[in-house]
Amino acid sequence: MDEKKVLADRFEANRGHLLGVAYRMLGSRSEAEDAVQEAWVRLNRTDTGDVDNLGGWLTTVTARVCLDMLRSRKSRREEPLEARTSEPAADAGRSYEPEQETLLADSVGLALLVVLQTLAPAERVAFVLHDIFDLPFEEIAPVVGRSATAARQLASRARRRVRGTQAAPDPDRSRQREVVEAFLAASRGGDFDALLAVLDPDVVFRADRTAAQLGAAAEIRGAAAVAATFRGRAQGALVALVDGAVGLLVAPGGQLRVVVRLTIADGKIVAIDAVADPESLGRLDLAVLDWKTGA
């Protein structure tokens, strides 16, 4: 049998797993496909005759590609460029339906993806590979360029942040609303100190690719930087329920443009996520809240 055909078949057998790894790290189907395609390119350029576990080898390569993409994204403070057009030979003619994107997102958990985006690139890779895919730290270490002990520390730090963020959100909707309205008033009034008062010192702002294209920074960390960004802004924002939690939406002329998720813990905003991708917006359960009546 043709060796290239055998290699392509073995790659296809691992594609679903590799896509899952990449999606959890990158949070985007198209970018995950890019990473998996790059793994295919590297596979074709490498003599894998001595590789006993091709699946493990491909997982490691895909993780390294994802780490490079995350670091590049962070250094540019923007989302990655549009997906490359090159396709692996084994992927010719493949097409994807919107339902597949939704199923993949549901299988990962949108809430987890939001939390993972707050992690540093190496933390995210170490956490995903170990806690989600059960890779030993000895195999993770060369991917993140650290010792096994350091890789364990990365995963441990990420685990604490993930668990803390998942457990911390305040379930009291009235309290959420107080914080959101205080944030919105401070933002509109340009009150820097009032903004700092409602922001956690380690607050993280993240914008999806579409929001970044509209002019938002892809990522901002720290209360002072986030407060400076929102000072004098949010003039057209409305308080709304976003999937049951109090957040904000921007809909000039009645046309929904951006939804802002606010994660609140202990009376402080710990995460702000701007969503502008039309498909993502379409999956949100939204309800505008009247400031005075609470309706």
Q: What's the pLDDT band for 256 if we cut at 50, 70, 90?
A: confident
**Would you say residue 111 has pLDDT above 90?**
no
Which residue intervals of the chain bear CATH 1.20.140? 3-167
**Would you say residue 181 has pLDDT above 60?**
yes
Architecture of domain 3-167: Up-down Bundle (1.20)
Amino acid letter for position 230: F
**Would you say residue 206 has pLDDT above 60?**
yes
**Would you say residue 248 has pLDDT above 90?**
yes
Q: Which residues, at least 6 apart from 157, have a Cβ–Cβ distance to it below 8 Å?
A: 123
pLDDT of residue 75: 62
Gyration radius from the chain CA atoms: 21
Q: What is the mean pLDDT of residues 165-194?
A: 82
Which residue intervals of the chain bear CATH 3.10.450.50? 173-288
Q: Are 250 and 138 in contact (CB under 8 A)?
A: no
Average pLDDT, the chain: 80
Domain 173-288 belongs in CATH node 3.10.450.50: yes
Higher pLDDT, 262 or 50: 262
